[in-house]
Amino acid sequence: LTKSRFREETKMKKKVVSLLVAAMTVASLTACGNSGSDAPAANQEPAPAEKQEAEPAPAESQAEAPAESQAEAPAPAADGGTISVGFAQVGHESDWRAANTKNYQDTFSAANGYELSFVDCDNDHAVQIETVRGFIEQELDYICIAPIQSAGWDTVLQEAKDAGIPVLIVDRAVDADPSLYTTALGCDMVAEGEAAGNWLAEYLNGEDANILVIEGSVGASATLGRTEGFNNIVSQNSNWKVLDSQSGDFTQAGGQEVMESFIKSYSDFNVVVCQNDNEAYGAMDAMDAAGITYGVDGDVTIISFDATHDGLQYTLDGKITCNVECNPLQAGFAEDVIKKLQAGEAVDAWTLVVDEAFVAPGITSKYAVTMSQEVLDGRAY
Ligand code: AHR
């Protein structure tokens, strides 16, 4: 069967079942859209799913227009009713992730015409793969995946493709052949790492740097990209040295633990790079406990990523000196893709969500915006 015929026949079977049920059960006459009674509930799958019914919120991010357009077979209309979307989310490791989850829940709400099957995969790659497999078995209309790690996706993506279900790779990237999924969207993690490095070079103005890096989760494209980008700039500065680089798993506890261990091993560092804000909070706790000063008035310069509200408050307070944004408000871009596919239109292969960087008051930079209360008040997350 061709992809579209397979899905047409599946839809037709669902309609026949619905009609039979309706004839026998008067009470179920109001039963609705295409994720009807023959589809298993999302919470019967390996990880629990939650159907979301939050009020809609406008998408607030901006994206650059991608260069290439990818013609995809149009997705079938969802019986003219609710569109079912499965979202295999990374987990709940950070404030960034919480903002990203809320953005998806608000955007893919019942009020907006969606049935969202949301699964928090708790940073477990195997759970995430099985979650996607569950979405395929449920014959959801669309699948969004925020990949915990970039490797290991070929088989399940092929299964989704064989089932004719469009897959959107969101936030982070996968190593797989792009022909196995419909589109990808997110921030440029290498560019974020380079922005941090370029800002540091400008700020240090030739001064030596002994750098400690608290990386994100192992194998995540956010970690790999930020590390690669930052190292690109390290290699251009012969008086910079990366003393150590360890994973803090994008969590506050992980950041604190890694920083405590760094403090035991190194006494001569003057820069700490934390690959997200939560790790920076943990690192600051560890330095506070050890009596190490940091920030614009301290001995150690902290660079962070994400630029969430609290992270930018620390930047405004001069504790985090530079904070490189990773915009979590990405669901609007996923919805745009789905709307295009519903209309039978071609979609872009890649959508870039644009970031900016922020620096503490008193610092001017060609790479970053100087923080002020006004900037913080204007932030949406
Ligand atoms: O993939 C985005 C990263 O994942 C964010 O920087 C981090 O906070 C999150 O856990």
**Ligand 1, atom nearest to 217 Cα:** 10
Per-residue pLDDT, 34: 30
Contact status, residue 273 vs residue 194, Cβ threshold 8 Å: no
Contact status, residue 90 vs residue 41, Cβ threshold 8 Å: no
* Residue 173 near ligand 1, beta carbon < 6 Å: no
Contact status, residue 167 vs residue 160, Cβ threshold 8 Å: yes
Question: Residue-wise pLDDT tens for the chain (381 aa)?
Answer: 334 443 444 344 333 323 332 332 222 322 222 332 222 222 223 333 333 333 333 333 334 433 343 434 434 444 568 999 999 999 999 999 999 999 999 999 999 999 999 999 999 999 999 999 999 999 999 999 999 999 999 999 999 999 999 999 999 999 999 999 999 999 999 999 999 999 999 999 999 999 999 999 999 999 999 999 999 999 999 999 999 999 999 999 999 999 999 999 999 999 999 999 999 999 999 999 999 999 999 999 999 999 999 999 999 999 999 999 999 999 999 999 999 999 999 999 999 999 999 999 999 999 999 999 999 999 988
By 3-state DSSP, what share of the chain in percent is helix, strand and coil, each rounded to 5? 40, 20, 40
Per-residue pLDDT, 110: 98
* Residue 305 near ligand 1, beta carbon < 6 Å: yes
**Residue found under tokens 């159907």:** 51
CA distances from 224 to 94, 111, 185, 220 (A): 18, 37, 17, 6
- Taking the C-alpha atoms of residue 202 and residue 331, their distance in angstroms, rounded to an integer, is 34
Q: First CA to last CA across the chain, in angstroms?
A: 45
CA distances from 299 to 6, 266, 272 (A): 63, 14, 11
Per-residue pLDDT, 79: 54
* Residue 226 near ligand 1, beta carbon < 6 Å: no
Q: What is the DSSP string of 195-256?
A: HHHHHHHHHHTT--EEEEEEE-STT-HHHHHHHHHHHHHHTT-TTEEEEEEEE-TTSHHHHH
Per-residue pLDDT, 150: 98
Candidate from 93, 104, 326 with most ligand 1 atoms within 8 A of CB, to mutate: 326
* Residue 187 near ligand 1, beta carbon < 6 Å: no
The H-or-E segment that residue 354 falls in is: none
| Nearest of 56, 37, 35 to residue 115 by alpha carbon | 35
Per-residue pLDDT, 380: 87
- Taking the C-alpha atoms of residue 172 and residue 187, their distance in angstroms, rounded to an integer, is 8
Q: Please give the distance, rounded to the nearest whole angstrom, from the Cα atom of residue 172 to the centre of ligand 1.
A: 9
* Residue 99 near ligand 1, beta carbon < 6 Å: no
What lies within 8 Å, CB to CB, of 108 at 6+ separation is 52, 85, 87, 114, 116, 331, 335
Per-residue DSSP letter, 47: S
What lies within 8 Å, CB to CB, of 142 at 6+ separation is 75, 83, 84, 85, 86, 165, 166, 167, 168, 338, 341
Three-state secondary structure call for residue 299: coil
Q: Residues of 221-242 as b/e, b for ≥16 C-beta within 10 angstroms?
A: bbbbbbbebbbebbeebeebeb
Quick count: other Cβ atoms within 10 Å of Cβ 88? 29
* Residue 279 near ligand 1, beta carbon < 6 Å: no
**Ligand 1, atom nearest to 222 Cα:** 1
* Residue 149 near ligand 1, beta carbon < 6 Å: no
Paired residues of 357 in beta bridges: 324
Quick count: other Cβ atoms within 10 Å of Cβ 207? 13
